[in-house]
A and B are shown apart, each in its own frame.
Chain A
Amino acid sequence: MLKTFALGGIHPKENKLTAKIPCEYQPLPKEAVVMVSQHIGAPATVVVQKGDEVKTGQIVAKQGGFISSNIHSPVSGVVKKIEPVADAGGVKRNAITIEVTGDDWAEGIDRSENLIEEIKDDAKTIIQKISDAGIVGMGGATFPSHVKLMPPPGKTAKYLVINGVECEPYLTSDHRLMLEKGPEIVVGIEILMVALGVKQAFIGIENNKPDAIKAMKKLTSKKKGIKVIPLKVQYPQGGEKQLIKAILNKEVPSGALPIEVGAVVQNVGTAFAVYEAVQKNKPLIERVVTITGKHLSSPKNLWVRIGTPVSSLIEAAGGLPESTVKIISGGPMMGKAMSNLNAPVTKGTSGILVMAEPDTARKPASECIRCGKCVTVCPMGLQPYALMVYGIKQMYDKLEAGKVMDCIECGSCSYTCPANRELLDYIRLSKSRLGPFIRNRKS
């Protein structure tokens, strides 16, 4: 029997249209827009000025606190302006706009394809290099990776869990990366193991990617301590807590981080970026983006420099179809709808999904028929129907008792509800209202 997590879960149609399409390189944009906040935590502090010449891989903004991340120029060119630019949601945020003149790389970056397997650095140097290279969680969460590699005092990591699940429908960037950059990922995992001082690493891959499971198994067969774990397909297995439950059969307590059970979770894309940063001295300036949708003429996987406008990716996939009603940054379950296609690709852009009406239509909600299906599918064991009612009535004590803050916003409840109730919309609203109070009370 294949492993999976125990509680709740759904199985939406996978629609992995681009699973068999190798990654291509997206040409450099004319203008790269580099957001100074592409990660969770404090925005980075800009260290270049208007008119400066920058090289590819040169640092342009320094991490603005412990939980923050460095940002590097993805191209070579001239800094045209440093001012707010509309992001994917149309909100203006500070950004560095670079007029692209070419692709002239900064000193000391190894751009060759040679695989360097020998790890020379010690844990401290590795973590410093990862922090310098501006690496964040590549699965979409964009949490600065160096922070996760430094467990808080009193806690020690025992296991490294590598997330190759890619449970969101449509997205295939991690899948392709495992097929095309497998050896680099494995070295990246070994580096992460050194950084954490752990002896065991598990790579979780869902069973709908048999080729990736086979490839990774072959690559790790001679590696001590690294094990590939094939998993039964079930959403949201890519959630940290669900993945740890599936692989290690441990439950991260409510309100705690995975380190509580001795686990650190990193995405396969992050492992690859770690390899490049530590072995090749290459900062995080490009990533694989799946550009997909049933109506696109040529959906594909692209290596894209950060700062490239999303509209150019859609052009590369054959242009925007007439029928488009929604464009999503990320997957259909947890991604964010975009209102501005000129917004740039950021470190966390795992995919761009172009959707037409029948696939994404929201039908009018009706009275709850009390079928309990939302309760059955919730992977956190919550009661979404009740949380929604408490949210509408603003019953905050009941919301807290109902563990609304445990909700991982996976969307399984709204996806399932036969009455089309906007369960997650209300839960999210309650979380944003209640969250600050609970956090303040703690400190």
Chain B
Amino acid sequence: MMQFLKVSPSPHIHSGDSVKRNMYGVIIAMIPVFLMSLYTFGLGALVVMLTSVLACMFFEYLIVRFLLKQQPSLSDGSAIITGMLLAFNIPTNLPVWIILIGSLFAIGVAKLSYGGLGRNLFNPALAGRVFMLISFPVQMTSWPLPLVNRGLYIDATTGATPLAIIKEGLKNGQDYAELLEKVPSYFDMLFGFTAGSAGEMSAVAILLGLAYMLWRKIITWHIPLTIIMTIFMLTGLLKFAGAPAADPILYILSGGALLGAVFMATDYVTSPMTARGMIVYALGIGVLTVVIRIYGAYPEGISFAILIMNAFTPLINTYIKPPMFGKPVKVKAVTK
């Protein structure tokens, strides 16, 4: 018996935390959002979700197994997360074939071409979404109306998102106060009863997911809170300065700001490692989001903002270090 004693070095115990625990934790946190999207958009939400998740898993398996000739590790759950996030970010009447292309881009190009989980520079789901937005701008920007389309998929009657209503209206010279009447109430936005992508809309469900992830220590408060505060304060400031269409509460409740801040920007792989780095990264996302929304061509901007800051993450990791314990001693010059 004695010869079987293990002699590996310390530490001899482990927290029991695992990649799986964190990944499945994120999946659990997204379930309320999915349920709300089912309630609001019905059949379409289900079809989009199933297509996207299955496609992402399928492509991951196929590419890892036959192109990279490695052992696929679908069980770590990261492909499921990419699939779910992708589904949350697209309209629920998007045709299956477009979703397939988007999934292939997300998994094949944005994730695996960099070397897979842990190496990718950009959040795969966001990269997939932006790819689709650029390739299929029409289909990607016609959203089914909430609550009335539950039994329909492709043929759902569509409408514009709150941010799009305002942006378009302003462009056509309409009055901002008048436009505000047309956008849904804060209450509807809080629960997600507005036109928009499947998972962007329900603030309540997203915040529930955030609370769960914070409780399980999957993520820290730094990224989501900083993004939300930055958007809120900057929009408030601009509103004060008289910029058109700046409404702090509307900006947080719409256009995927919360979904992005809670589920997309917090992706481990593509966000910085230190608390300080996370705050810089999140500040960047917040500022870029507001700037794109108010001055850019697209009504919403958080996807682009996150992707841009993803690109800065390696730089942030290099230059923003944790506060080191004990500053090095200054060597006093010896005078003789």
Contacts and interface: CB of A to CB of B under 8 A. Distances in A.
Is B truly associated with A? yes
Q: How large is the interface on B (under 10, 10 to 19, 20 to 34, 35 or more residues)?
A: 35 or more
Given A367-B118, A369-B19, A371-B268, A409 B14 contact: no
A327 interface: yes
B272 interface: yes
B11 A256 contact: no
Contacts of A372: 268, 272-274, 278
Contacts of A139: none
A282 interface: no
Contacts of B324: 254, 380-382, 403, 406
B21 interface: yes
23 contacts: A7-B323, A12-B15, A241-B325, A252-B326, A254-B325, A256-B326, A256-B329, A327-B5, A332-B10, A333-B10, A333-B12, A339-B7, A359-B13, A366-B76, A367-B119, A372-B274, A381-B322, A382-B324, A414-B14, A415-B14, A418-B17, A418-B21, A419-B118
Contact of A337 (B7, B13, B269): B7
Q: How large is the interface on A (under 10, 10 to 19, 20 to 34, 35 or more residues)?
A: 35 or more
Interface string B1-41: 11011111111111101110110000000000000000000
A368 B76 CA distance: 13
B173 interface: no
B211 to A, nearest CB: 19
A363 B1 CA distance: 22
B13 A169 contact: yes
B13 A12 contact: yes
A58 interface: no
Most A Cβ at <10 Å: residue of B12, B22, B323, B329: B12
Given A12-B15, A360-B13, A411-B11, A337 B6 contact: yes
B117 interface: yes
Contact of A424 (B6, B9, B18): B9
Contacts of A12: 13, 15
B298 to A, nearest CB: 29
Contacts of A412: 11
Contacts of B18: 363, 418-420
Contacts of A425: 9
Interface in B294-336: 321-329
Contacts of A312: none
Contacts of B1: 320, 322, 324
A254 B273 contact: no
Interface in A314-370: 320, 322, 324-328, 332-339, 341, 353, 355, 359-360, 362-363, 366-370
A286 interface: no
Interface string B87-129: 0000000000000000000000000000011110000000000
Contact of A360 (B6, B117, B119): B6
Interface string A380-410: 1111010000000000000000010010010
Interface of B: 1-2, 4-15, 17-19, 21-22, 73, 76, 116-119, 220, 268-269, 272-275, 278, 321-329
B12 A328 contact: yes
A169 B13 CA distance: 10
**Which applies to chain A's interface (DSSP): helix, strand, loop or mixed?**
loop
A255 B328 contact: yes
B329 A326 contact: no
A74 interface: no
B329 A376 contact: no
Most A Cβ at <10 Å: residue of B13, B15, B321: B13
Nearest to A242: B325
A416 interface: yes
Contacts of A335: 10, 12
A428 B5 contact: no
B11 A254 contact: no
B307 to A, nearest CB: 17
Most B Cβ at <10 Å: residue of A409, A418, A424: A418
B5 A338 contact: yes
Interface string A79-120: 000000000010000000000000000000000000000000
Given A324-B1, A337-B5, A411-B10, A373 B17 contact: yes
Contacts of B273: 370-372, 375, 383, 385
A88 B40 CA distance: 66
A253 interface: yes
Given A326-B12, A369-B117, A418 B22 contact: yes
B5 A375 contact: no
Given A254-B324, A254-B328, A256-B329, A325 B5 contact: yes
Contact of A255 (B7, B117, B329): B329
A174 B21 CA distance: 36
Most B Cβ at <10 Å: residue of A169, A251, A336, A375: A375
Given A256-B329, A371-B273, 8 more contacts: A169-B13, A253-B326, A328-B12, A355-B12, A372-B273, A381-B323, A383-B273, A383-B274
A219 interface: no
Nearest to A325: B6
B123 to A, nearest CB: 12
A186 B321 CA distance: 42
Contacts of B22: 369, 371, 418
B323 A418 contact: no
A379 interface: yes
A251 B326 contact: yes
A415 B9 CA distance: 12
